[in-house]
Structure 1
Amino acid sequence: MSEAEQRPTILEVQDLVVRYGSQTAVDGLSFSILRGEIFGLLGPNGAGKTTTLSVIEGLRKPDAGHAAVDGVETVHAPLAVKAKLGVQLQASSFQSELTIEQIARLYAGLYGLDLPRRQLRERLADVGLEQELAKPFKKLSGGQQQRFSLMVASIHNPPILLLDEPTAGLDPQSRRQLWDRIERSRQAGGSILLTTHSMEEAQSVCDRVAIIDHGRLQALGAPKDLVAMHRDDPRVRAVARGDVTLEDVFIGLTGSAIRD
């Protein structure tokens, strides 16, 4: 048995179905994430990624199937599941007028944590924001806001982080810093589920990725394995320019039409 196979599952999504009226947004989706794994959920707009995250977060009840975080069913114990999750959305909803110290203390309080100023400074230093304690959130740069949001999402040391487009809109330097931070979170024992439209990001950061479209799983595996597996697929060869990349596999499996 390989080392990966020996690791316990931290998140399981099994035969998930979610409908909005007559429209099926998620259609029998299954995947699992191992403890200590960085897992990418990839798909074009409207593929069902956001709906899947909503079920995992306990915000929506599925029509069929289930999701469980660290063995806890999201439907049966949503509050217990929320305590095991850290969530960073693409657009942060923090009160922009509050200082980052006030925001950090507010979220620590929501999880029942006592956060002395010394410890808060240490956490801010870890993301390069130790000099910004009294600065309102709205005054931070885009990269600073993303690093701070990631710090807040992990303030209670959850076993798994859900990151929705964590580096969208960032410059290359800020993006690489976020990648390093994500890797450090994994090295500390955490697991990460991230959505991204960047195939470079998926290939650089993720141990495995799931490509979904129309709510169904199209491919699952390590990025390099998916490239090798689909290298000779006619759909992939038709869109490839030179050596086949993960982006070629993604477009070949999901189509080249622009999604709104």
Structure 2
Amino acid sequence: MIDSYASSDDAAVAIAGARAGADVVRNMYGQRLNRIDKGAGDFATAADVEAEKTILGVIRAARPDDAVLGEEGGEQGAADAVRQWLVDPLCGTLNYAVGNMLVAVNVALRGGAAAVADPFSGEVFFTDAATAWVRHDGADDALLTPTPATRLVDVNLDPPFPSAPGFRAVELLAHPGFIERFRPRVVSTTLALAWVAAGKRAAYVTDGGDLSRSVHFAAGIALCRAAGCVVTGIDGAPIGEAGRGLVVAADDETHRLLMSMMHCRS
């Protein structure tokens, strides 16, 4: 089956990779998996490693000249390759390890197509870098349509906190304006980014450095941009080497409100 993707477009490769990784994650769910210590409280499991191997197999079969940056295996392929895939085989490893199904499989071509698979809902969110859709077995692909209607905002509370004391996500949650207009959610996985693009969340906020080249965030950012979300750093600037963190909102008003709360001490 993998060979059939060799002549398909990049979005199909991203979908195939994300789905293959999601199959591994779902099939290994509930098993007792040893933790592979990565330092600073981070770890991987055999499911992370096996899913990444499977995704890389799809990419190599379809795009043998492309390079890959994997969460577990690091950089692979020719150093001078024009194209590079960013792979996070299991975003939400801690959730997964304790039996929580809120996880995602992220596959993105840098600057191009991307896919985010939810192993347990069966949904695959994907983009060709121009338009974004969601696919579910047995149903037609549907365009992703962001909306702030849910008023749910996912906020990443995981350390480190590089922008403290200037910005602390926990302070945003306590802001009177936030309490009045929104309701917080913390799922601890970039699946929440796909949910913003799909209208299941009004916004997503996380601290950090340049996340545009991150294996964790690249696919979700690509989805949200293609769906028409507002995507900036926590300082309102475009994300990139000079940017910090990430604020993704379904619309301009939600983005404006969150930015005003983040930069106003009450």
* Higher Rg: 1
Q: Normalized against structure 2, the TM-score is what?
A: 0.29
Q: Normalized against structure 1, the TM-score is what?
A: 0.29
